[in-house]
Amino acid sequence: EAQFTHTPGLKVVYCSNPRNAKGLLTSAIECNDPVIFFEPKRCYRGPFYGDPHNVPTWNNHPDG
């Protein structure tokens, strides 16, 4: 994983929860740049809190 973060021109995203995963994956699909999306298995085992239709994308993310 660390090797990909040092590759110029490549965006690397790593989700921390299911809500975050949906927003980051949507943004990764819409992005014109190459993106590697890492997803831990624990994201599939945890509950999804909040409204699934109101998930912020990377453009609206505080780190974006």
Q: Which domain holds residue 14?
A: 1-42
The pTM assigned to this predicted structure is 0.59
Q: Tell me which residue of 44, 49, 45, 46 sits closest to 25, measured CA to CA.
A: 44
Computed on alpha carbons and rounded to an integer, the radius of gyration of the chain in Å comes to: 12
53 domain residue, yes or no? no
57 domain residue, yes or no? no
Classify 7 in phi/psi space as left (phi over 0), alpha (psi -120 to 50) or beta: beta
Name the 3-class secondary structure at 5: helix
59 domain residue, yes or no? no
Q: How many domains does the chain have?
A: 1
> How would you write the pLDDT of the chain (64 residues) with one tens digit per residue?
688 888 898 999 888 877 778 888 888 888 889 999 888 877 767 676 667 666 666 565 555 5
